[in-house]
Chains A and B, each alone.
Chain A
Amino acid sequence: MFRLLDTGLAHTCRGYSRREFLRIGSLALGGLTLPHLLAHRAQATPGKPMVKDRAVVFLFLQGGPSHIELFDPKMNAPREFRSITGEVPTKLPGVTFGGTFPRLAALADRLAIVRSFASGNTDHQKYLSVIGASNPLQASLGSLYARIAGTNNPRTGIPSNATITPEAVEPNVKIGKNFETKALPQLSSPGMLGPSYAAFDPSSGGDLKKNLELKLPRERFDDRKSLLTQLDTFKRRMDATGALQGMDAYQQQAYEIILKGIAQAFDLSKEDPRTVEKYDTSKLFRLEEVQRWGDMRRSSNLLGKQMLLARRLVEAGCGFVTVADAGWDMHSNGNSPKNLDGMKWLGPQVDHAVAAFLDDVHQRGLSDKILLVVTGEMGRTPRINKNGGRDHYGNLTPLALAGGGLKMGQVIGQSDRTAANPATSRYTPNNLLATVLQTVFDVGEVRINPEIPTTVSRVVTDDKPIRELF
Chain B
Amino acid sequence: MLHRTVVLLGACLAVSPCLAAAPTTQPPTPPGSLQSITLQTGREKDGTVTLAGRDASQQLLVTGQYSTGRLRDLTTQVEYETTPTGIVSVDRTGLLTPRKEGKTLLKATAPGGKTAQLTILVHNLVHDVPVSFTNQVVPIFTKFGCNAGGCHGKADGQNGFKLSLLGFEPQEDYEYLVKEDRGRRLFPAAPDHSLLLRKATGRSAHGGGKRLDPDTPYYRVLRRWIEQGAPYGETEKSAVVRLEVLPRDRILERGAQQQLLVIAHHADGSTSDVTRMTQLEANVPEMAEVSATGRVTIKQLAGSAAIMARYQAHVDVFHATVPLGAPVERLPAPANFIDELVFKRLQELGLPPSPRCDDGTFLRRATIDLAGRLPTLEETRQFLADSSPTKRAQLIDRLLASEDYADYFANKWGAILRNRRRSSQDSPEPTLAFHQWIRTSLKDNRPYDQFVRDILTAKGEATKSPPVIWYREVKDPSAQLEDVAQLFLGQRLACARCHHHPFEKWSQEDYYGFAAFFSQVVVKDPPPPKKPKKGQPEPPKEPFSVAHRNGVAQATNIRTGKPVRPTGLGGKPLDLGAAIDPREKLVDWMVQKDNPFFARTLVNRYWKHFFGRGLVDPEDDMRLTNPASNPELLDALARDFIANKYDLKKLIRTLCTSQVYQLSALPNAYNASDRQNFSRYLPRRLHAEVLLDAIDTVTLSPSNFKGAPRGVRAVQLPDNLVESYFLSVFGRPDSASACECERNSDASLAQALHMFNSQEMLNKVSGPRASNLARDKRPHEERLRDLYLLALSREPSKEELTTLVNYIQKKDKNVQSAYEDILFALINTKEFLFNH
Asked whether any CB of chain B lies closer than 8 Å to the CB of A461, the reply is yes
Asked whether any CB of chain B lies closer than 8 Å to the CB of A230, the reply is yes
Q: Are A211 and B746 in contact (CB under 8 A)?
A: no
Q: Are B753 and A154 in contact (CB under 8 A)?
A: no
Q: Are B684 and A448 in contact (CB under 8 A)?
A: no
- In Å, the complex CA distance between A243 and B757 comes to 22
Asked whether any CB of chain A lies closer than 8 Å to the CB of B665, the reply is yes
B762: A residues at CB distance < 8 A:
215-216
Chain B proximity mask over A452-468: 1 for CB below 8 Å, otherwise 0: 01110000010010000
Interface-lining segment among A68-76, A174-182, A250-258, A389-397 = A250-258
Asked whether any CB of chain B lies closer than 8 Å to the CB of A6, the reply is no
* Distance between A427 CB and nearest chain B CB, rounded to angstroms: 15
Chain A proximity mask over B754-792: 1 for CB below 8 Å, otherwise 0: 111111001000000000000000000000000000000
Q: Are B830 and A238 in contact (CB under 8 A)?
A: yes
Asked whether any CB of chain B lies closer than 8 Å to the CB of A227, the reply is yes
Q: Are A227 and B822 in contact (CB under 8 A)?
A: yes
Q: Are A231 and B830 in contact (CB under 8 A)?
A: no
- In Å, the complex CA distance between A13 and B301 comes to 12
Q: A194-B720, A254-B752, A461-B155 are in contact. Are A453 and B821 (CB under 8 A)?
A: no
Q: A207-B754, A240-B667, A247-B747 are in contact. Are A455 and B829 (CB under 8 A)?
A: no
Within 8 A of A (CB), among B544-569: none
Within 8 A of A (CB), among B121-176: 148-151, 154-156
- In Å, the complex CA distance between A157 and B748 comes to 8
Q: Are B672 and A240 in contact (CB under 8 A)?
A: yes
Chain A proximity mask over B806-836: 1 for CB below 8 Å, otherwise 0: 0100000000010001101110111101101
- In Å, the complex CA distance between A249 and B746 comes to 12
B684: A residues at CB distance < 8 A:
243
Q: Name the contact of B825 in the complex, choosing from A193, A194, A231, A451 (C-beta under 8 A).
A: A231
- In Å, the complex CA distance between A445 and B741 comes to 17
Asked whether any CB of chain B lies closer than 8 Å to the CB of A235, the reply is yes
B667: A residues at CB distance < 8 A:
238-240
- Main secondary structure on A side of the interface with B: helix
Interface residues on B, range: 35 or more
Q: A216-B762, A230-B803 are in contact. Are A464 and B156 (CB under 8 A)?
A: yes
- Which partner residue on chain A sits nearest B207 by CB separation? A470
Asked whether any CB of chain B lies closer than 8 Å to the CB of A113, the reply is no
| Total number of A residues with any Cβ neighbor in B under 8 Å | 64
In this complex, the member of A194, A211, A224, A239 whose beta carbon has the largest number of chain B beta carbons within 10 angstroms is A211
Asked whether any CB of chain B lies closer than 8 Å to the CB of A444, the reply is yes
Q: Are A235 and B830 in contact (CB under 8 A)?
A: yes
B737: A residues at CB distance < 8 A:
453-455
Q: Are A157 and B749 in contact (CB under 8 A)?
A: yes
- In Å, the complex CA distance between A208 and B726 comes to 11
Chain B proximity mask over A222-248: 1 for CB below 8 Å, otherwise 0: 011001101110110111110110111
Q: A152-B748, A211-B753, A232-B829 are in contact. Are A243 and B736 (CB under 8 A)?
A: no
Asked whether any CB of chain A lies closer than 8 Å to the CB of B29, the reply is no
Asked whether any CB of chain B lies closer than 8 Å to the CB of A192, the reply is yes
- In Å, the complex CA distance between A211 and B822 comes to 20
Within 8 A of A (CB), among B261-317: 286
In this complex, the member of B151, B751, B804 whose beta carbon has the largest number of chain A beta carbons within 10 angstroms is B751
Asked whether any CB of chain B lies closer than 8 Å to the CB of A196, the reply is yes
* Distance between B331 CB and nearest chain A CB, rounded to angstroms: 22
- In Å, the complex CA distance between A194 and B729 comes to 13
Q: Are A231 and B803 in contact (CB under 8 A)?
A: yes
Q: Are A231 and B829 in contact (CB under 8 A)?
A: yes
- In Å, the complex CA distance between A215 and B736 comes to 35
- Which partner residue on chain A sits nearest B155 by CB separation? A461
A244: B residues at CB distance < 8 A:
683, 830, 834
Chain B proximity mask over A302-313: 1 for CB below 8 Å, otherwise 0: 000000000000
Chain B proximity mask over A183-209: 1 for CB below 8 Å, otherwise 0: 000000000111110000000000110
B830: A residues at CB distance < 8 A:
232, 234-235, 238, 244, 247-248
A249: B residues at CB distance < 8 A:
747
Asked whether any CB of chain B lies closer than 8 Å to the CB of A151, the reply is yes
Q: Are A253 and B618 in contact (CB under 8 A)?
A: no
Q: Are B150 and A195 in contact (CB under 8 A)?
A: no
Asked whether any CB of chain B lies closer than 8 Å to the CB of A442, the reply is yes
- Which partner residue on chain A sits nearest B811 by CB separation? A223
* Distance between B209 CB and nearest chain A CB, rounded to angstroms: 15
- In Å, the complex CA distance between A66 and B717 comes to 49
Within 8 A of A (CB), among B723-741: 723, 725, 728-729, 734, 736-737, 739, 741
Q: Are B753 and A258 in contact (CB under 8 A)?
A: yes
- In Å, the complex CA distance between A215 and B755 comes to 12
* Distance between A87 CB and nearest chain B CB, rounded to angstroms: 35
Chain B proximity mask over A145-167: 1 for CB below 8 Å, otherwise 0: 00000111011110000000000
Q: Are A237 and B148 in contact (CB under 8 A)?
A: no
Asked whether any CB of chain B lies closer than 8 Å to the CB of A274, the reply is no
In this complex, the member of B742, B749, B758 whose beta carbon has the largest number of chain A beta carbons within 10 angstroms is B749
A443: B residues at CB distance < 8 A:
150, 154
B753: A residues at CB distance < 8 A:
157, 208, 211-212, 254, 257-258
Asked whether any CB of chain B lies closer than 8 Å to the CB of A447, the reply is yes
Q: Are B825 and A154 in contact (CB under 8 A)?
A: no
Q: Are B150 and A453 in contact (CB under 8 A)?
A: no
Asked whether any CB of chain B lies closer than 8 Å to the CB of A411, the reply is no
- Which partner residue on chain B sits nearest A190 by CB separation? B734
In this complex, the member of B155, B156, B492, B753 whose beta carbon has the largest number of chain A beta carbons within 10 angstroms is B753
Q: A194-B734, A240-B667 are in contact. Are A231 and B800 (CB under 8 A)?
A: yes
Asked whether any CB of chain B lies closer than 8 Å to the CB of A210, the reply is yes
In this complex, the member of B148, B151, B821 whose beta carbon has the largest number of chain A beta carbons within 10 angstroms is B821
Within 8 A of A (CB), among B348-384: none
- In Å, the complex CA distance between A215 and B753 comes to 12
Q: Are B822 and A450 in contact (CB under 8 A)?
A: no
Q: Name the contact of A246 in the complex, choosing from B150, B673, B747, B756 (C-beta under 8 A).
A: B747
Q: Are A215 and B759 in contact (CB under 8 A)?
A: yes
A235: B residues at CB distance < 8 A:
830
* Distance between A70 CB and nearest chain B CB, rounded to angstroms: 30
Asked whether any CB of chain B lies closer than 8 Å to the CB of A218, the reply is no
Q: A241-B683, A244-B834, A258-B756 are in contact. Are A450 and B821 (CB under 8 A)?
A: no
A250: B residues at CB distance < 8 A:
747-749, 751-752
Within 8 A of B (CB), among A132-152: 150-152
- Which partner residue on chain B sits nearest A191 by CB separation? B422
- In Å, the complex CA distance between A136 and B754 comes to 33
* Distance between A206 CB and nearest chain B CB, rounded to angstroms: 9
- In Å, the complex CA distance between A157 and B804 comes to 32
Asked whether any CB of chain B lies closer than 8 Å to the CB of A220, the reply is yes
Asked whether any CB of chain B lies closer than 8 Å to the CB of A408, the reply is no
Asked whether any CB of chain A lies closer than 8 Å to the CB of B482, the reply is yes
Asked whether any CB of chain A lies closer than 8 Å to the CB of B509, the reply is no
Q: A232-B828, A244-B830, A453-B739 are in contact. Are A255 and B756 (CB under 8 A)?
A: yes
Within 8 A of A (CB), among B432-448: none
Asked whether any CB of chain B lies closer than 8 Å to the CB of A374, the reply is no
- Would you list 8 pairs from A and B whose C-beta atoms are within 8 A, ordered by A residue? A151-B750, A157-B749, A195-B723, A208-B753, A231-B803, A231-B826, A234-B829, A254-B749
13 more A-B contacts (CB under 8 A) besides A232-B829, A247-B752, A454-B482?
A152-B750, A207-B725, A207-B758, A211-B758, A228-B825, A228-B828, A234-B829, A249-B747, A254-B752, A258-B756, A444-B154, A448-B149, A453-B737
Nearest 8 pairs of A and B residues by beta carbon: A444-B150, A254-B752, A234-B831, A453-B737, A194-B734, A444-B149, A157-B749, A247-B747
